[in-house]
Amino acid sequence: MSLFWRIFGLNAVVLCAATALLLWAPVTVSVPVVLTEAVVLVGGLVVMLIANAALLRVGLAPLDRLTQRMTTVDLLQPGRRLPVGGHGGVAELLRTFNEMLGRLEAERASSSARALSAQESERRRIAQELHDEVGQSMTAVLLELKRAADRAPEPLRTDLQQAQETTRESLGEVRRLARRLRPGVLDDLGLISALTSLANDFTTHTDLTVRRRFDPGLPALEPETELVLYRVAQEGLTNAARHAEARSVRLTLRHTPATVVLEVSDDGHGIGHAHEGAGIRGMRERAVLIGAALDIGPGPSGGARIRLTVPRDGDAA
């Protein structure tokens, strides 16, 4: 039954019931209308309107659910669908909406894959230029400063050695930025070594104490999946260092026969009702890219916990 005939039928039922009551009820209408007859007519009208409103609410309830879902739909949290029951126009509308959500999620995943691929390519290019161009130039400056300091008299030698030390620290910072932009250790030594290097880097250059626990025997993963796991861990540690006011972070990577789970939990002030920023949205986009589930909530020690659950090969569907 279409929506038009559904509404028409509900109103017809109410009007027929009201007509039957007028035909068979022992009630007459005088001219002019007396007070008791007016009370009966008004009461019947009120009852008819209440019944009509109740029936319409039942008939249009699927549209109310559709409206609520349309206001809360998020393409970065895929898989949410409206239950479809029965036949007719309303059921067809719900099925069409669910199919539209599926197409939008697929298009969002495809566009996110292209954008993230371009982003990683640009990061790789910038990291390569930092390493090859800026790094080599600063290395040459460092050697020149050393040569000049060896030939300079004592008062000037101290200043040149100080400049040499500053240049060395800047060179180390450039190399660290290059590693964060494109972790070469991820390509060369794998995910575990890359996460270990990342944890050591945060422990060295921030006030965080990063405790890590990685299950042995990690199964082979696609390079794209390893990169997503690394980026989510990197973003989680960055959020803990910059925004959570945390003192310690726990980084774990475990696996089951069906999934690989990455978890970053801290002892900071938690997320609460804070608005999701670009970092969290980026993590959600990366999770959608590989068909993973990203859960962000309170941690066991009162801070925040980021959990990325990645299906193993053959389970992504």
| Confidence at residue 75, expressed as pLDDT on a 0 to 100 scale | 66
SS3 295: strand
Q: String of b and e for 276-308 (b: at least 16 CB within 10 Å)?
A: eeeebebbbbbbbbbebbbebeebeeebbbbbb
- Let me know: does 194 contact 186? Beta carbons within 8 Å: yes
CA dihedral 43, 46, 50, 52 (to 10 degrees): 110
Write out the H or E segment, with its range, that includes residue 250: strand 248-255
Q: Where are the alpha helices (DSSP H) in 152-293?
A: 154-181, 184-189, 191-205, 223-242, 278-289
| Confidence at residue 138, expressed as pLDDT on a 0 to 100 scale | 83
| Confidence at residue 315, expressed as pLDDT on a 0 to 100 scale | 42
Q: What is the pLDDT along the chain (317 residues), one digit of tens a residue?
A: 566 667 777 777 777 777 777 667 666 666 676 777 677 777 777 877 787 777 777 767 777 777 777 777 766 666 677 777 656 666 777 778 888 888 887 777 777 777 777 777 777 788 778 777 787 888 888 888 888 888 888 778 888 888 888 888 888 888 777 777 777 777 778 889 888 988 888 888 887 888 989 988 888 888 888 888 988 998 888 888 887 778 888 999 999 888 999 999 888 877 765 566 677 888 888 888 888 888 888 877 678 889 999 988 644 43
Asked whether the CA dihedral 136, 137, 138, 141 is positive or negative, the reply is: positive
Whole-angstrom Cα distance, residue 119 to residue 112? 10
Q: Which domains are present in the chain? A: 3-72+86-105 (no CATH), 185-317 (3.30.565.10)
Single-letter amino acid code for the residue at 39:
V
Which residue's structure tokens are 């250790």? 185
Judge residue 184's burial from the number of C-beta atoms within 10 Å of its C-beta, 0-12 exposed, 13-18 middle, 19 or more buried. middle
| Confidence at residue 45, expressed as pLDDT on a 0 to 100 scale | 75
Whole-angstrom Cα distance, residue 241 to residue 235? 10
| Confidence at residue 314, expressed as pLDDT on a 0 to 100 scale | 42
| Confidence at residue 86, expressed as pLDDT on a 0 to 100 scale | 59
Q: Please name which of 276, 241, 301, 249 lies closest in space to residue 77, comparing C-alpha atoms.
A: 276
Q: Kindly report whether the peptide bond that precedes residue 78 is cis, defined as omega within 30 degrees of 0.
A: no
| CA 95 from centre of chain | 25
